[in-house]
Structure 1
């Protein structure tokens, strides 16, 4: 099967794979007929500038996007804009709206019944509205380079001159990478500059863990993820260190835990969130994703809260190298692999001290009597139970790490 991927700005990893020969690359630099470059401005938050931009678009009978990617404060932002430009017909659009309400808002914008659409990055792709030729992106320093490029591409879809305003909060401290991204957008504002921007993004963020051009054949043959793992293993062994295979804990708790389509409607967005959750390494990463999802989609339903709870437990199991957790009625059963991060001598002492609570089963399983749990509120209680096994010791392996069975 042949696969053709078409993108305005390939993400760094995809571009890097093209650079090393995993994918063929073709570049289309010819713009559509009569298309004009988008004039781009970078500015701190400045009400007079925003008013002038919106009024200028109104004067020529056009429409404006105002991107404010914070659902929590988007209505407040819309109220500010109503005060600033009273004559503009203003509406709000974001992913947490009911689908019928969102569709009706977008149809009104298409029918030119709305002059200014205050929206999140929900408009990033798939929109082609020739009458919308000004976009104002608030807090642009918080968005990725390719993301801003896609948003900027929502205007200038016809023969009219289009304008993009990248607004930075007056009280924000711009990181070095954010400064590089914004500078790149200003430098590459001509038509057909998508490839140059993608190359700049690759330089800023890096292309992943590929170590050089000469290994490209191996990547093609065995796949990117496996290639990276093999390289990491080889480097570890060359350094004289012991390689430790990743552990992917299995959690069996009979509760619904997923991202409902009614909560996150876009399939690609849901898959991206699942991918990010599966690649978590630290608790702080989970907290960042949780906050981001709350901010974008609102208060999560029970299924999503359960999903986050299970991900938190999974991180703890990975740290202690516990391969499986089963919750059955009023007890937890943990499966411990041969090499575990749990001090088995301390574990045996704990079992002997509290035989009514802990019991060692065949096949390196530990049964813990816990009482009943209710979800989603009791996820922290499960973590507390598992953390009892974290004796803060070095990794135990070989014969000393194997658990015997008390019959």
Structure 2
């Protein structure tokens, strides 16, 4: 196949046309003709260089990535896009879009003024990270941090834990704390918990207004445990010396589970 003025074609077009040849036992060739290499635009030269380099099986994905780098992400993130996309960011935009789609599928009008779900703040008063000497690749560490932060269920956290241990070995204490932080985050969110501050001497569990928890459960919990008190309308105070991180984590788990199953959205609406 001979492609005249190949510099005028897009990268996807060049890849598709080149794929038309070499499909049998006969030797086949694709010739890309340009008038003058020196007169090519920067983007045209990048496209031709990319198509020449990508010859292996599965190169289509890498060509798509090159195309994204050369042309950009299009009008979703472009300056011509209406709204405040540049200020919002691509990931937050996707989250907002997914929330609107979920609402429509559930038969509800999307509440565009309602904030997105707030991530529960967990503070164990101990280092919670993947140490450099455990996972030396900074890009891998950032990747795992992002995956853990976006995990929605305990099973997803456990799957990531298995992957980390399989790749790097037994968890050091700091990494175990990191896993415990995200396990607590996943456990706490359905109860309407917005913050857990677990210090060695006292633990505070702060709920959002009108949390999806049966009020009688909270009263029973306080009556049965002298070390648990109400600190305001939306905060539980647990006064107990727990120097070990694992013991503080277990205490928070026990308190939340003692509150029973979180109420559904309908049950949680105040009268």
Which category of TM-score, normalised to the shorter sequence, fits these structures? 0.5 to 0.7
Deviation, 1:284, is 0.9
Structure number with the bigger relative contact order (C-alpha 8 A, sep ≥ 6) is 1
After superposition, the CA RMSD in angstroms is 3.7
Q: Does 1:321 align with 2:187?
A: no
Question: Does structure 1 retain, via aligned residues, the 8 Å contact 2:129–2:174?
Answer: yes
- Per-residue deviation, 1:307: 0.8
Equivalent residue runs for 1:8-407 within 5 Å? 28-30=47-49, 37=55, 185=57, 188=58, 194-195=62-63, 217-218=82-83, 219-220=85-86, 222-235=88-101, 239-240=107-108, 245-351=116-222, 353-354=223-224, 356-376=226-246, 379-395=249-265, 397=268, 399=270
1:260/1:347 Cα in 2 relative to 1: closer, same or farther (>3 Å)? same
Q: Which runs of 5+ in 2 are unaligned?
A: 1-42, 68-72
1 or 2, which has the higher helix percentage?
Answer: 2
Unaligned runs of 5+ in 1: 1-24, 39-184, 200-206, 401-407
SS at match of 2:49: coil
Q: Please say if residues 305 and 376 of structure 1, whose CA atoms lie closer than 8 Å, have aligned partners that are also in contact.
A: no
Question: Separation in 2 of the partners of 1:284 and 1:332?
Answer: 26
TM-score, scaled relative to structure 1? 0.44
Shift of 1:313: 0.8
Q: How far apart, CA to CA, are the structure 2 residues paired with 1:399 and 1:379?
A: 30
- Count of aligned residue pairs for this structure pair: 212
CA contact 2:50–2:66 (8 Å) conserved in 1? no
CA-to-aligned-CA distance 1:198-243 (integer Å, 9 cap, x gap): 99xxxxxxx9xx8xxxx96444563223323443454466533676
Structure 1 residues 374-396: Cα deviation after superposition (integer angstroms, max 9, x where no partner): 13466344322322123443345
Using a 3 Å threshold, how does the CA distance of structure 1 residues 380 and 195 change in structure 2: closer, same or farther? same
TM-score by length of 2: 0.63
| CA deviation profile, 1:68-118 (whole Å, cap 9, x unmatched) | xxxxxxxxxxxxxxxxxxxxxxxxxxxxxxxxxxxxxxxxxxxxxxxxxxx
